[in-house]
A and B are shown apart, each in its own frame.
Chain A
Amino acid sequence: MPDRKMFWRIVRRLFAAQRGRLLVILLALGASAALTAALLNLQVDARDRLTKEFRVFGANIIVAPRDTKSSPGAVTLDESTVDKVRQSLPIHASADSYLYLVASVSAANSAQPVNAVIAGKRTERLDQSALKSAIATPRDNTNLCLVGFKAAQQLNLQPDASLTLKNDKREEVCASDIADSRGDAQDSQIVVNLDAAQRLAALPNKVSLIQVSVPGTPREIRDYISTLAQNISDADVHGLRQFTDAETKIYTRVSGLLTATTALVLALTGLCVMAAMTNVAMERKNDVGLMKAIGGATRRVLRLFLAEAALLGLAGGIVGAAAGLLLSIWLGKTVFGVAARPRLIVYPVSVALTILVAIVSSYPLRRLANISPASVFRGEA
């Protein structure tokens, strides 16, 4: 169709004629696309990262014996439950199984034994990635016990002294390591290998409770808790409300803030392009007057300019969004210490948003519709 050919020819000429001005608009669009892409990517990534960051609080789910009849403390879970939990663990999650008992502890040099809580611990996790465990674990298969700092004070414990743990007639000897102050119950406990605790308590293959640490949005964690509860019928699965509650609150706040900022930046970039388009409209008065005078319908003329704007948006978006993704990788590194993973979905979304912004911001071109050719030629307006 010759009509369409002519249309694109004019568009091409428009680009060629005002290179400087169009470069400015392209720059504005590109910058806005970069900012949008960077913020969008950072937003998606930050939410993800934040849920991982929350895991510095440690476990957020507890699997404990369901116990409605007997008294607390005496009930234990079978290790088959631990297996079930391990099989259901999502990626990056970890679970610690604990067995608690009270034993009499004596250091080699002090004659006076002290009663202390012994916590047998074993960590289960699917992947061995660098997820920081909030609690140091004695490595499996070694006879090391991690002595809480209050317990060490009471025992007058020298570094690297060996400890004797005694319960009834059973005895375990281990090399000690003193833990830093943590301000919680673990300060007065002695953490040992789970197997050692099971031998000491004469409760083979039993655990007192399982602490699970699962990263995810509040909703994901809720879902995980309910699936786990269905899989494990003989134990009580619940979220550690102290942390899940606070995490939900903080997560909603931060993600609300990020959404608000992204929306504001988008509105601003629209404003920026609009200002540049006003410029273009000013300069095009003569062209439009001429086109109208030789019979161009207002709608066709406007369509011409809209096509131009959309093309500019596309070009600016493609270049800018790529730059923005790179920017967000760097930003992620400064904020979270880990480079933000570029999400592919962000790229088309920000290109589309930029095109949209370019078209919407061509609103000032509407003025061109009211131009009457005669007044342009007279040199008025």
Chain B
Amino acid sequence: MFLRLVADSFGRRPRRKLLTGAALALGMAVVTAAFSVSLDVGDRLAHEFRALGANLLITPQADSLPLEIGGVDYRPVNSGAYLPEQDLGKIKTIFWRNNIVGFAPVMEVPAEALTTSSSAVPVKTTLLGTWAHHSVTLPDNRTYTTGMDQTNSWWHVDGRWFKDDAPEAIVGKSFAARTNIKPGDTLHINSSGRSVALTVTGVLSAAGPEDDAIVAPLQIAQQLANKPGQYRRLYVSALTKPEDDFARRNPTTMNNADLERWSCSPYASSIAYQIKQVLPGVDAHVIRRVAEGEGSILTRVRMLLWLASFAALLAAALAVGASSAAAVIERRSEIGLMKAIGAGSGTIGFLLAAEQLLLAFVGGGVGYALGIVLARFLGEKIFGVAPEPSILVFIVILVLAACVTLLGSAIPLHRASRYEPAPILRGE
């Protein structure tokens, strides 16, 4: 009889039920969308922040003092220490290897450039050897492609990047303006007796000191400096977790449990520590300017979005609660009739609650599906990537829908239990 009453209530007034269900579904859809996007936003924004470039800097441990102004080292090639290029694949073997989105070794060589087009006077400049888009063989024989186009994504090249295995180069835009050099020209580079001819493939605008330099494949720089297979500095760009007090503790003074927890969090400092362990003889530093700015902004934005989704949740709860309250109030005369023929307040409450719950689950499910579509749309619109649907959100939505509808109908139900059947049936 109970089930029959519930089924009847849905069958008799499909339109009414549809309205309440629609309100529920809409509300839940919005909450689903807000939650899905909020869950995803940390990862997405962390990726966006990688546009800032490297957040870790690797240098030789036993190095002389770099004479570095604005990112270019002006030391002569034979002073200071170098690191072996062949070890670089090991970086992708650390625990947080998947968080490393790119790295690029750098070596500067002071050089004199002779252009075929300009006069015979050589121009003093710096040749920056690096990887543009280089394939690294990892220890497990897979290859990984990385280079400056990943670590320094703000570098714009008019023309194209050089090929890492060809005698090609790109020139900074100030240098190009100074020497009237264009893509397609040939540059003759001279450095301490060794010389090489490079084809210019593009003009670089980096808005930094590199605008005044020549950027060429690392092996060209190694050849000019007579340091085969070596590099001076390595830039690493990694996805990291904003640092907290725990992250700043010194790993050498931690006990085992803390050390494990510390290494299992992708803090910039713990990734630096792990890189130090796989690459012998290096110093790994967190580039504070990038890492700290990223951390503080990421924390704030995440909090802001959670607050906004919480506001959406509150609004949805209000909407759903109000519509389920409306649904109960409408049925006053029905309740009066049931009471008149002998139903107890408990039975009626139970019946109505069962109806509302059924509605909540159906509405919540439909709302979840709608919300995923909405989240995909928003995600694609804002980040260009749709968030993954999550089971967690689904469960949260169903529980939420049930709670909100029950709460919304609780007050009118409580009132309904005190109705006197006679006045209602009289139509008063």
Which A residues are closer than 8 A to B by beta carbons? 24, 28, 31-32, 35, 38-39, 42, 46, 49-50, 53-54, 56-58, 62, 67-69, 71-73, 100, 102, 114-117, 134, 150-151, 154, 180-185, 187-189, 209, 238-243, 245-246, 249-250, 253-254, 256-258, 260-262, 264-265, 267-269, 271-276, 278-279, 282, 331, 334-336, 379
Contact of A68 among B19, B154, B174, B207 (CB under 8 A): B174
Give every chain A residue within 8 A of B74 (Cβ-Cβ): 73, 102
Q: List 8 A-B contacts (CB under 8 A).
A: A35-B315, A46-B304, A182-B288, A182-B289, A242-B152, A246-B51, A268-B30, A335-B304
The interface bits of chain B over 276-290 (1 if a CB of A lies within 8 angstroms of the residue's CB, else 0) are: 000000000111111
Known: A28-B322, A56-B292, A68-B177. A253 touches B26 (CB 8 A): no
Q: Is the CB of B303 within 8 A of A269?
A: no
Is B57 in contact with chain A by the CB < 8 A criterion? yes
Is B215 in contact with chain A by the CB < 8 A criterion? no
Contact of B290 among A31, A57, A261 (CB under 8 A): A57
In the bound complex, CA of A212 to CA of B212 (Å):
21
In the bound complex, CA of A39 to CA of B307 (Å):
9
* Nearest CB in chain B: distance from A33 CB, A: 11
Q: Which of B296-354 contact A (CB under 8 A)?
A: 296-297, 300-301, 303-305, 307-309, 311-312, 314-316, 318-319, 322-323, 325-326, 329-330
Give every chain B residue within 8 A of A239 (Cβ-Cβ): 207
Give every chain A residue within 8 A of B290 (Cβ-Cβ): 57
Is B184 in contact with chain A by the CB < 8 A criterion? no
Q: Is the CB of B69 within 8 A of A185?
A: yes
Known: A53-B296, A115-B67, A183-B288. A282 touches B309 (CB 8 A): no
Q: Is the CB of B154 within 8 A of A379?
A: no
Q: Is the CB of B318 within 8 A of A28?
A: yes
* Nearest CB in chain A: distance from B271 CB, A: 13
Q: In the complex, which range does the number of interface residues on chain B fall in?
A: 35 or more
Known: A242-B154, A246-B49, A279-B326. A258 touches B30 (CB 8 A): no
* Nearest CB in chain A: distance from B62 CB, A: 11
Known: A100-B69, A268-B315, A272-B322. A257 touches B286 (CB 8 A): no
In the bound complex, CA of A134 to CA of B296 (Å):
13
In the bound complex, CA of A261 to CA of B212 (Å):
45
Contact of A188 among B26, B33, B65, B323 (CB under 8 A): B65
* Nearest CB in chain B: distance from A267 CB, A: 7
Is B95 in contact with chain A by the CB < 8 A criterion? no
Q: Which residue of A lies closest to B291 (CB)?
A: A183
In the bound complex, CA of A81 to CA of B93 (Å):
50
In the bound complex, CA of A261 to CA of B290 (Å):
29
The interface bits of chain B over 373-384 (1 if a CB of A lies within 8 angstroms of the residue's CB, else 0) are: 000001001110
In the bound complex, CA of A183 to CA of B208 (Å):
17
Known: A71-B123, A183-B286, A261-B34. A117 touches B68 (CB 8 A): yes
Give every chain B residue within 8 A of A53 (Cβ-Cβ): 296-297, 300
Known: A71-B125, A184-B288, A257-B382. A272 touches B326 (CB 8 A): no
* Nearest CB in chain A: distance from B293 CB, A: 4
The interface bits of chain B over 43-60 (1 if a CB of A lies within 8 angstroms of the residue's CB, else 0) are: 011001101110011000
In the bound complex, CA of A250 to CA of B305 (Å):
14
Known: A253-B44, A261-B34. 19 other contacts (CB 8 A): A50-B297, A53-B296, A69-B178, A72-B125, A184-B289, A239-B207, A241-B156, A246-B51, A249-B48, A250-B49, A256-B381, A256-B382, A257-B37, A257-B41, A264-B312, A265-B311, A274-B23, A282-B326, A282-B329
Give every chain A residue within 8 A of B69 (Cβ-Cβ): 73, 100, 117, 185
Contact of A253 among B48, B286, B323, B329 (CB under 8 A): B48
In the bound complex, CA of A67 to CA of B67 (Å):
22
Contact of B45 among A180, A188, A253, A276 (CB under 8 A): A253
Is B64 in contact with chain A by the CB < 8 A criterion? yes
Give every chain B residue within 8 A of A67 (Cβ-Cβ): 174, 178, 212
- Which residue, of B156, B206, B303, B312, has the highest number of chain A Cβ atoms within 10 A? B312
In the bound complex, CA of A268 to CA of B319 (Å):
6
Contact of A32 among B51, B315, B330 (CB under 8 A): B315
Count of A-B contacts judged by CB separation below 8 Å: 227
Give every chain B residue within 8 A of A189 (Cβ-Cβ): 68
Q: Is the CB of B315 within 8 A of A72?
A: no
The interface bits of chain B over 243-278 (1 if a CB of A lies within 8 angstroms of the residue's CB, else 0) are: 000000000000000000000000000000000000
Contact of B312 among A72, A102, A268, A274 (CB under 8 A): A268
* Nearest CB in chain A: distance from B303 CB, A: 5
Q: Which of B217-261 contact A (CB under 8 A)?
A: none
In the bound complex, CA of A268 to CA of B325 (Å):
16
Is B209 in contact with chain A by the CB < 8 A criterion? yes
Give every chain A residue within 8 A of B26 (Cβ-Cβ): 267-268, 271
Known: A24-B322, A62-B207, A181-B285. A272 touches B315 (CB 8 A): yes
Is B124 in contact with chain A by the CB < 8 A criterion? yes
Q: Is the CB of B307 within 8 A of A260?
A: no
Known: A154-B64, A183-B57. A275 touches B288 (CB 8 A): no
In the bound complex, CA of A183 to CA of B301 (Å):
25
* Nearest CB in chain B: distance from A346 CB, A: 15
Contact of B304 among A42, A68, A180, A243 (CB under 8 A): A42
Is B427 in contact with chain A by the CB < 8 A criterion? yes
Give every chain A residue within 8 A of B37 (Cβ-Cβ): 257, 260
Known: A116-B67, A268-B312. A54 touches B293 (CB 8 A): yes
- Which residue, of B34, B70, B153, has the highest number of chain A Cβ atoms within 10 A? B70
Q: Is the CB of A246 within 8 A of B52?
A: yes
Known: A275-B322, A331-B307, A335-B303. A182 touches B293 (CB 8 A): no
Q: Is the CB of A246 within 8 A of B48?
A: yes
Give every chain A residue within 8 A of B208 (Cβ-Cβ): 240-242
Contact of A114 among B65, B285, B289 (CB under 8 A): B65
Q: Is the CB of B296 within 8 A of A242?
A: no
Q: Which residue of B lies closest to A267 (CB)?
A: B30
Give every chain B residue within 8 A of A271 (Cβ-Cβ): 23, 26-27, 319, 323
* Nearest CB in chain B: distance from A380 CB, A: 11
In the bound complex, CA of A58 to CA of B74 (Å):
24
Contact of B206 among A49, A114, A241, A335 (CB under 8 A): A241
Q: Is the CB of A260 within 8 A of B382?
A: yes
- 8 tightest CB-CB pairs across the interface, nearest first? A275-B323, A272-B319, A183-B287, A268-B315, A183-B285, A241-B207, A261-B308, A246-B51
In the bound complex, CA of A151 to CA of B65 (Å):
6
In the bound complex, CA of A117 to CA of B207 (Å):
21
Give every chain A residue within 8 A of B296 (Cβ-Cβ): 53, 56
